[in-house]
Amino acid sequence: MTITISTDVAEFVRAECGENVYLCYQCEKCSSGCPTAPAMRYRPAQMMRLAQFGLENVLVHDASIWRCLGCDTCTAHCPHDLSVRRLVEVMRHHVMQDVYLPNGIDALDGDDDLRKGCGRWG
Ligand code: SF4
Ligand code: SF4
């Protein structure tokens, strides 16, 4: 997998969902309250860090963004009211529109579990 670094993703997330990922200081309270964090390669706090660093390719090609239940427990725990759910929604929309649909199954080369359509424990 090729990893590209772009600072655009943080601005993109802010514009699309109003989430300022730069407020995140990695306290991990979101991860500790997330019911599906154990099934994620990148925990909620790590997803925020990847967005801060503009490493959208890592998020795009990994199943972690598809394991979020949308419960918003992360927001309830976060000292800055940051929501990984909102970040995940924006990333899902982005990858469906710009990556998966144009490139088909080849876009899933970074995650065999996602390609097979099964869970990490499947
Ligand atoms: S909204 Fe998603 S990331 Fe946030 S706590 Fe729920 S499952 Fe985890
Ligand atoms: S709880 Fe908020 S500040 Fe703490 S790691 Fe999660 S998103 Fe970042």
Residue 116 domain-assigned (yes or no): no
Residue 121 domain-assigned (yes or no): no
Residue 33 domain-assigned (yes or no): yes
Using pLDDT thresholds of 50, 70 and 90, give the confidence band for residue 114.
low
Residue 1 domain-assigned (yes or no): no
Residue 25 domain-assigned (yes or no): yes
Looking at residue 92, which CATH number applies to its domain? Answer: 1.10.1060.10
Cα of 36 vs centre of ligand 2, distance in Å, is: 16
Query: Is the pLDDT score of 40 beyond 90?
Result: yes
28-49: average pLDDT: 96
Residue 44 domain-assigned (yes or no): yes
Site to probe by mutation for ligand 2, drawn from 17, 25, 50, 75 as the one with most ligand atoms within 8 Å of Cβ, is 25
18-26: average pLDDT: 93
For the chain, what is the domain count?
Answer: 1
Most confident of the following: 35-39, 60-64, 107-111: 35-39
- The Cα 46–Cα 67 span in angstroms is 14
Per residue, the 3-state secondary structure of 10-79, as one string, reads HHHHHHHHCCCHHHCCCCCHHHHHCCCHHHCCCCHHHHHHHHHCCCHHHHHCCHHHHCCCCCCHHHHHCC
Position with higher pLDDT, 31 vs 116: 31
pTM of the model: 0.80
H/E element, 111 = none
47-97 residue pLDDT tens: 999 999 888 888 888 889 999 999 999 999 999 999 999 999 988 888 888
Residue 22 domain-assigned (yes or no): yes
Residue 61 domain-assigned (yes or no): yes
Domain ranges, residue 70: 8-110
Please answer whether residues 28 and 45 qualify as being in contact, where contact means their C-beta atoms are separated by less than 8 angstroms.
yes
